[in-house]
Every structure is written in structure tokens, then in C-alpha cells.
Structure 1
Amino acid sequence: MEPVSGQAYHRAMYQVTNQVGRLVEIAIWSPVLFEEAERWGREHDRVVDSVGQPYVCFVDLRGAKVFPPETVAAYLSTMKAEQQLVRTATLLPESALVALQINRMIREAGHPERRPFSNADELRHWLGEKLDEKERARLEQLLARPIHREL
């Protein structure tokens, strides 16, 4: 674990990976520090660059709580710069307040192929239109994963 300002140790509250094809997988859960959001942006860019082609993204926010304004700004900066993005589906947590915040972020990011979902079946159908068979199988694994929870 690496030291983070004001804490002896802090475990990252996100994952950004690419396990199969063009599917970029992002999971973010709370609490998220501003410094962590900046690191997430760098990790996101590294993973996207490693795909080497236009990519499709699944974002799992089921374990997230409301993000502080400076964290939102860091995420939005990355979201607005996604040149190779084909489509992103974001799975929302049960919190209506977080859903409002994420919907606003998606609107501000300005990409027409980015949508939030509270229903996994609707997400599966919409994102699946852009996935191949192996990517759809991986999406099924991700949707079956337990929700990340706050430490």
C-alpha cells in the first residue's frame, strides 16, 4: 500500500482494467480522495492506451457514494478527453443522490454514447450491442460480481 496525504496507508478505491478485447472495466467505490481521482485518470489513460483501438467501457458505481466537487472535476476532465470511446454504460448505485450526480457528470462530459443504468438487464442489452461474444461473457462476470463496499 502507498502513503496518501494525512493517512499512513490507503487502499485504492477503484479498479481500471482491460481483460478482454476492447472492453475497459472501471469500478469505483467510496470513499474516494481527490488525489486518488487524479491517479485514476492516469491509470485510465494507461489502460485505454494499451487497448490500442476504439474501446467500449463498463463503469460499476454500485459501491459509490456522493463524490466531492474536486473529485467530480477530476473525473470529468478525464471523461471529456476520451478520444477513442465508442460507448460507456454506467451501473448506478441505489442512491438517488449519487444517480443525480452521475447523470449530471454524463451530461457535462458531452458524449452521446454514454448512459447511466440502474437496471443491469437494460445495461446488458445496450452495451452488448457493441460487444463481441467474449466481451459479452466478461460483462456477465462483471455484473455478477459483488458490490465493492467502503472500508
Structure 2
Amino acid sequence: MYQVTNQVGRLVEIAIWSPVSLEEAGQWGREHERVVDSVGQPYVCFVDLRGAKVFPPEIVAAYVSTMKAEQQLVRTATMLPESALVALQIHRMIREAGHPERRAFSNADELRQWLGEVLDEKERARLEQRLARPAHCEP
């Protein structure tokens, strides 16, 4: 299950929680592209994986493929779940995607600080709203 939205400015919000099917991963890629295109400028991304469990290899491949194609990306901050195994998987995906401005965080304050460096006031306020809610909560 997933959500991809753009509520404020250049901030693209992604939430992914388990279970995720291969069909959903493909849909997510198309929805991601649509939302990014609607922003119409370089964008910043917040990815909430607090509700995710380990992804099967075919889903990892689908996500990494989309991540590699992000030409307008300024910065991505990913909020990790508590699972150390999922955190390792996400760190590997970020390395594979090869964008130097992607980071994963287990600490919300560190995420706020790092992503906040490139957000305006309204985008920072929206980030706060998303961090205050569960990953699978409606935007």
C-alpha cells in the first residue's frame, strides 16, 4: 500500500506500508511520476516507511528503478521503521539509486533538520504534520 502526494510547494510526500504487491509497486512508479510532473520544478521528497516490512527483491527492483530516474530531485529524506533489517535494505536501495542527496533516518529530529535546510516555511509545516501521523494515514 502506498500514497504519493504533493500538498504544499515542492514537497512530494510518499508513504509506503506493508504489504506491497508487485502490481502496487508498478502503480506507485506511475503515480510518483505523475505527482512529480505536476510539481513542475525541482522537488524535495519525504518518504515515510514507518509502516514497511522487508520488501521482496522484485519490489526493491521496481522502487530502485523509479529512484534512479528522478532527474529533478533536490533531496530525499526517508523515515525508517524500527526494523533494523528493513533499515539495512533501505540503505542498500539508496546506495543503488546513486543520488548523493538521499538519506535515511531513524531519528525524526535529524530528518527535520536535514530536510528542513531545503524547505520553505510552509513545506516545513507540512513535514511536521506528516511526521505527527502514522505512515498510512490519509494526506
Instruction: Note whether the superposition's TM-score is higher than 0.5.
Output: yes
Residues 44-98 of structure 1: per-residue CA shift (max 9 Å, x gap): 0000000000000000000000000000000000000000000000000000000
- Structure 1 residue matching 2:134: 3-state secondary structure: coil
- Structure 2 residue matching 1:30: 3-state secondary structure: coil
Q: Which has the larger radius of gyration?
A: 1
In the TM superposition, structure 1's runs of 4+ consecutive aligned residues that sit over 6 Å from their partners are none
Matches of 2:46 and 2:111, distance apart in 1? 9
Which ranges of structure 2 fall in alignment gaps of 5 or more residues? none
TM-score, structure 1 normalization? 0.89
1:78 to 62, 66, 86: 66
Count residues in correspondence: 137
2:82 to 85, 94, 97: 94
The offset of 1:148, in angstroms, is 3.1
Matches within 5 A, 1:1-151: 13-148=1-136
- Structure 2 residue matching 1:36: 3-state secondary structure: helix
The offset of 1:147, in angstroms, is 4.0
Which ranges of structure 1 fall in alignment gaps of 5 or more residues? 1-12
Matches of 2:76 and 2:62, distance apart in 1? 18
TM-score, structure 2 normalization? 0.97
